[in-house]
Structure 1
Amino acid sequence: MKKFINDPADVVAEALAGLAAAHPDDLRVDVSEQYIARADAPRGGKVALVSGGGSGHEPLHGGFVGTGMLDAACPGEVFTSPVPDQILAATKAVDGGAGVVHVVKNYTGDVMNFQLAAELAADEGIAVETVLVDDDVAVENSTWTAGRRGTGATLLVEKIAGARAEEGGKLAEVAAIGREVNTASASFAYALTAGTTPAAGRPGFDLPEDEIEVGVGIHGEPGRRREKLRPARELVRSALDAILEAKPVNDGDQVIVLVNGLGGTPLLELYLVYGEVATVLAERGVRVARRLVGNYVTSLDMAGMSLTVTRVTDEMIRLWDAPVRTPGLRWGA
C-alpha cells in the first residue's frame, strides 16, 4: 500500500486538521468532539442541517459544510458511523433555535446513532427532523443495511434542502423538500477495483482483472453480481435500465444527473460516461436540466463510478441553482 499518511490510526484526525487549515474563513473543526461546522454557526432563526457518516467518502460529508448546504458534518472513522455523542455535539453547536434536520444515509449504524442523537437532542429542547436517503436501487437488505443503501442522492438532498434552509424555510419545509428529492432519486454503481483502507493496508475485496462488481456499495459491499468488463455504453445502458425501472421518468420530464467517481476514476472516463448517459436520456425524451460530473461520494481509492438520476420540479432546480460555498461544491457565491 502506498498512501500519503503518517500513522493509520491518525488519518481522520489529521485530515480534519488539514481541512480546517485549508478553509479557515468558512469552517471550524472541533477536534475533541470530532465535527466540522460552518464558521458562522449557529445562525439565529435558521434551520440547521447536520449529516455525517464514515470517513473515506470525501468530499461527502465534511466537504459540503458551508453556505447553502450543511451547517455541520460528523465524520466517523473510515467506513464507520459517527457515534451519538459526536452527532449530538454537532447538533447543539449549530442549532439556531429553529430546529435541525439530520440527513442520514440508510446504513444500520448511521440510522441507529442518528436516531439516538435526535432523541438526546429532543431531551434538551432541540427539534430534530430526519431525512433518510435510500437511493441505491442495485440491491436491498445488503451487508450494511435494511432496505436500500444511501449513496449519490445524499449530495442532492443536502444541496436542495440546504438552499431551502438558507433562504429561511421552516423545519418541516426543509425536511419535506429533502424527502421529496430522495423519493425522486435512484442510483447505481460499478466497481473496477476495490478501495484500500489505511488500517487494513490492502484492497477490501478481490476482483479479477477482467471482472467488475455490478451494483457495488460505497463501502465495497457486494452488488448484484460480478460480470466481465464491457464497453462503457453497455454499462451505462444497463445502469439506466435499473434506475428508470425503479424510478420511472417520463417523456418531457426534467432530471438532474450526477456522474460520480468513486475515488480512483479519472475525469476523462467520467466525462465519457456522461456523454453516454446524455445520449440514452435524449433517446427517451428526458431533458437533463442540470448535471454534475466528478468525485463527490467516493470510496477511498476505488476505481468505479455511480450514476444518480433525480426527477426534478422547477422548484428543485431553483434551489439547486441557489448559491453554495463549500470546499466540495461552489457556485453563485
Structure 2
Amino acid sequence: MKKLINSPESVVSDALRGMAAAHPGLRVEAEKGIVTRAAGAAGEPTGKVAVLSGGGSGHEPLHAGFVGRGMLAAAVAGPVFTSPVPDTIAAATCAVDAGAGVLHIVKNYTGDILNFTMAAEDCEDEGVKVEQVVVDDDVAVARTEHGPGRRGTGATLFVEKIAGALAEEGAPLAEVAAVARKVNANARSYGVALSSCTTPAKGSPNFTLGEDEIELGIGIHGEPGRERRTLMTAAETAEAMLDAILDDLPEAAGAPVILLVNGLGGTPPVELYIMRAEVERVLGERGITVARSLVGNYVTSLDMAGCTLTLCRADEELLRLWDAPVDTPSLRWGC
C-alpha cells in the first residue's frame, strides 16, 4: 500500500487539520471529527433550521466539504467507513441548533441509523428538536420490508444541497425535512467499479477484479457489486447503469432531471466526461432532459476507480432550490 498518510490511525484527524488550514471559514475540531461553520462567518444561520450530516470518512468531499452557506451547518466524520459515535453527533447537533431545530441527513447504513437515532434522542432530552431523513437511493440493492434495505449514495449530495437551500430561506423544520424526503423519493443511483478501494487500516483491496473485469452495483464502502462483467465501452457501461436506474424510476421519461456523474476517487476527469456524454445520449433517446448536472468527485470511495450515476426528477421547486446560492469548500455558485 502506497498512500500519503502518517499512520492509518490518524488519517481522519490529519485530513481535518488540513481542511482547517485550507478553509478558515470553517470551525474544525479535528480530534472529534466535527466541522461547522465558523462563529461569526458570513452566511452563518441565525434562528434558522440547521442541516447536519455525516458518516464514515473516505467519501470526501462528502460530508465536510459541503459545510457552508446554503448547504450544511455541520458535518460529523467517523473513522474510515465507520459511523461517528452518538456522543459526537449529539455534540455537533447541539452546537449548531439556532432555536429552530436540526435536520439530520443520514445515509441508510445500520451503524449510521443507530448512532444518529441515539444522538437525536439525547438532543431532544436537552430540548433540541431533531428530524431525521434517511437517504436510500442505490437501486443495486432491493427494497425490502426487513433488513437494512437500500444504501445511501450519490443522492445524499442532492438532499444536502436542496434541504440546505430551503433552510437558508428560513423555512421551518417540518418543511425542510419534507423537501429532503421529496428529493430522496425522486432520486436513484447506481455504481460501477473498475477496481476496488484500499482502506488504510487493511492495506489491501476489498475485492479483486481481473484485468478485463468490471463490477456493477457496487457500494461506496468497498462492497462488491451484484454482477461482474467483461470490460465494456463507456457507451455500454452507461446504458447498463441507466437501465438499472430507469427500471426503478419509470416516471422519469419526459421529465427534467438533475444528474450527477460522480467519480469514486480513482477515475480521471476525462473518463467522467466521456460518461457524461454517453449519459446525455442515452437519456435523450429516452426522452429525458438533463436540466442540471455535476461531473466530478463528490461522493467517493477512497481510491476506487469507477463512477456512480444519480438521477433526480426535478420540478420547479427543486430546480429553484438547486440553483440557490451555495458557498462551501466543494460546491459553490451564486455567491
TM over 0.5: yes
1:243-302 Cα offsets, whole Å, 9 max, x none, are 011112344311000000000000100000010000111111111100000000000000
Matches within 5 A, 1:11-22: 11-22=11-22
Report what 1:28 is aligned to.
27
Alignment of 1:218-233 (within 5 A): 218-233=220-235
Q: Give the match's secondary structure for 1:195.
A: coil
TM-score, length basis structure 2: 0.96
Q: Partners of 2:6 and 2:225 in 1: how far apart? A: 33
Provide the C-alpha distance between the structure 1 equivalents of 2:142 and 2:253, rounded to a whole number of angstroms.
Answer: 28
Equivalent residue for 1:324, pick from 316, 323, 326: 326
Equivalence for 1:39: 38
Which residue does the alignment assign to 2:124? 122
2:155 aligned to which of 149, 153, 170: 153
Question: Residue 220 of structure 1: CA displacement?
Answer: 1.2
Please say if residues 139 and 223 of structure 1, whose CA atoms lie closer than 8 Å, have aligned partners that are also in contact.
Answer: no
Kindly provide the CA deviation profile for residues 4-55 of structure 1, in whole angstroms up to 9, marking residues without a partner as x.
111111110011111011000x200123432000114773311001100110
Q: How does 1:186-205 map to 2 (within 5 A)?
A: 186-205=188-207
Task: Number of aligned residue pairs: give it.
Answer: 330
Question: Where does 1:214-293 land on structure 2 (aligned, <5 Å)?
Answer: 214-293=216-295
Distance 2:198 2:174 in 1: 40
**2:219 maps to amino acid:** G
Q: Which moved more, 1:311-320 or 1:43-52?
A: 43-52
Query: Take 1:270 and 1:285, find their aligned partners in 2: how far apart are those partners?
Result: 22
SS of match in other structure, 2:250: coil
Closer, same or farther in 2 for the Cα pair 1:5/1:293, shift >3 Å? same
Is this contact kept in 1: 2:207–2:224, CA < 8 A? Answer: no
Does structure 1 retain, via aligned residues, the 8 Å contact 2:246–2:252?
no
Q: Distance in 1 between matches of 2:284 and 2:26?
A: 40
- Name the CA distance, whole Å, in 2 between partners of 1:249 and 1:5: 46
CA contact (8 A) 1:27 1:37 kept: yes
Q: Deviations over 1:70-116 (max 9, x none)?
A: 00001000010011001001001100000000000000000000000
In 2, Cα distance between equivalents of 1:197 and 1:251: 39
Structure 1 stretches of 4+ moved >2 Å: 31-34, 40-44, 249-252
Determine the C-alpha separation between the residues in 2 that align with 1:284 and 1:230: 21
Q: Which residue of 2 aligns with 1:98?
A: 100
> Which amino acid is the alignment partner of residue 26 of structure 2?
L
2:13 and 2:31 in contact (8 A); partners too: no
The yes-or-no answer on 1:294 pairing with 2:293 is no
5+ residue gaps, structure 2, are none
Which secondary structure does the structure 2 equivalent of 1:271 belong to? helix
Q: Normalising to structure 1: TM-score of the pair?
A: 0.97
The equivalent position to 2:170 in structure 1, one of 168, 171, 175, is 168
**Residue 33 of structure 1 contacts residue 89 of structure 1 at CA under 8 Å; is this kept in 2?**
no
Inter-partner Cα distance in structure 2 for 1:31 and 1:259? 30
Q: Deviations over 1:135-187 (max 9, x none)?
A: 00012379xx7100000000000000000000111100000000000000000
Within a 5 Å distance, the mapping from 1:46-61 to structure 2 comes to 46-61=48-63
**Which residue in the other structure is 2:7 paired with?**
7
C-alpha separation in 1, matches of 2:299 and 2:226 = 20
In the alignment, structure 1 residue 137 sits paired with structure 2 residue 136:
no
1:79 aligned onto 2:81: yes
Whole-angstrom CA distance in 1 between matches of 2:143 and 2:211: 28
Instruction: Give the alignment partner of residue 183 of structure 1, picking from 179, 182, 185.
Output: 185
What SS class does the counterpart of residue 104 from structure 1 fall into?
Answer: strand
